[in-house]
Structure 1
């Protein structure tokens, strides 16, 4: 192998073999060969492209898993932030609306856009505001159903909303569908407050239906109006039998289990007495009419 002129006067160490130096130089020339460098660069580009496609496919798969097809229009959401559903239940006078407003105010103080909805059936204190029993107010949308909220509120305004509060949720028949869509598809935080049972201790509306959807469920209690123990139930003071009978302390009171059972027994006894008196009165009237 012929060395370049600059190596002619190079003096090898005594133990340095010429063949070792030639091998070393051959490796240097091979490594810095432009053709070899281009091939290495090409391989690097191919590998980078492969890795990019690999990670992009993973991201696309995870995105499609997190963003299901919207059943309302058949399209797939391009961005699906995580939504939440929080449910607050309990008897009347348990502080459900107070807890709802406290949570909504905390979200608002954190810089999130909030909106409140209540049923248009509830006109006890105000039409355009959620009002607690102690007089605390919060402006709201009063609606007959939840499905019309987005249209009335406006699509653009709805997109900017972060938190939706729903008071008196037991009056909304479409509560389940609205909460599911708002949290799962639109990424909203939905806070629901309502009665979990009616005056007969039966499921009231769709409130219990959304518990399987909920991130958290808070069961509040009141104080029994008769003994001051924890009250889990709502007792109706009147004889009306329809489920949806809106009223306040004039019609309802929170009671413990014992006083609920006793009260229902008293109500049943009173009804029986009234019915017997009614039957007796009818018989007396009938006898008087047929008498000569």
Structure 2
């Protein structure tokens, strides 16, 4: 089913006449934890639009090089050619003004990595009449807002929140758990670094991580004291 709305045939509320306003587009947002099928859902929607005769283009962050540089790839290997960009503001110039004018639908994968997501979506939908379909993480491994994905929720026509399956108990998973000790927010990885978990196992896992960190820090302090004592000993 292709996305369509009355915005394609705008009516002036003051006099009921059509075509009094600029044609505007739509924004659809797909969010969820890792391994929830966000990219699969994005490709499904984009393919439906393409099959409906609309011109589509796909963009992903150049930071994501896990499977391919020039394609959006799902975890099960489904591919769709894309533009890999460091930011969205350069897309229109790189793609070409004439080619951009002919585009009906823009898909954006790994949207959390684009700092200019809000401005791009505003311009593409409100000014250029494009349908923008965005997929990305709504939260990071600390369950805090990741990038600008949540910022565009107020702009969206629809918001789809997907869930995965908890890797530990098979219940619905709403959160992404990081298996490693790295603390930077942007750490690209797959199943080797992350797993989807339910609330119970997220809380349990965080407690284990915090306990392990405390133990390691305690050992480090003890080691430092021993080393210091050895250095000052006569």
* 1:159 maps onto 2:101 in alignment: yes
Q: Contact 1:70/1:185 (CA < 8 Å) preserved in 2?
A: no
Distance change >3 Å, CA 290–CA 233, structure 1 → 2: same
Distance change >3 Å, CA 160–CA 208, structure 1 → 2: same
Separation (CA, whole Å) in 2 of partners of 1:114 and 1:61:
13
Distance change >3 Å, CA 72–CA 255, structure 1 → 2: farther
Separation (CA, whole Å) in 1 of partners of 2:4 and 2:135:
33
Tell me the alpha carbon deviations over residues 63-122 of structure 1, each in whole angstroms, 9 at most, x when there is no partner.
999999999999999973230000000000000000000000000011100000000000
Separation (CA, whole Å) in 1 of partners of 2:159 and 2:96:
30
Distance change >3 Å, CA 62–CA 262, structure 1 → 2: closer
Tell me the alpha carbon deviations over residues 31-89 of structure 1, each in whole angstroms, 9 at most, x when there is no partner.
xxxxxxxxxxxxxxxxxxxxxxxxxxxx9999999999999999999973230000000
Gaps of 5+ in 2: none
TM-score by length of 2: 0.91
Which sits farther off after the overlay, 68-77 or 215-224? 68-77
Distance change >3 Å, CA 257–CA 266, structure 1 → 2: same
Which structure has more strand as a fraction of its residues? 2
Which sits farther off after the overlay, 188-197 or 75-84? 75-84
TM-score by length of 1: 0.73
Distance change >3 Å, CA 132–CA 288, structure 1 → 2: same
Q: Contact 1:77/1:185 (CA < 8 Å) preserved in 2?
A: no
Shift of 1:221: 0.1
Q: Contact 2:7/2:24 (CA < 8 Å) preserved in 1?
A: no
Separation (CA, whole Å) in 2 of partners of 1:75 and 1:291:
91
Separation (CA, whole Å) in 1 of partners of 2:30 and 2:217:
39
Distance change >3 Å, CA 66–CA 167, structure 1 → 2: closer
Separation (CA, whole Å) in 1 of partners of 2:46 and 2:3:
35
Separation (CA, whole Å) in 2 of partners of 1:290 and 1:74:
88
Structure 1 stretches of 4+ moved >4 Å: 59-79
Distance change >3 Å, CA 61–CA 203, structure 1 → 2: closer
| Residue in 2 that maps onto 1:213 | 155
Q: Any idea what SS the aligned residue of 2:66 has?
A: coil
Q: Contact 2:141/2:176 (CA < 8 Å) preserved in 1?
A: yes
Q: Contact 2:32/2:138 (CA < 8 Å) preserved in 1?
A: yes
Q: Contact 1:120/1:142 (CA < 8 Å) preserved in 2?
A: yes
Shift of 1:176: 0.3
Q: Contact 2:34/2:137 (CA < 8 Å) preserved in 1?
A: yes
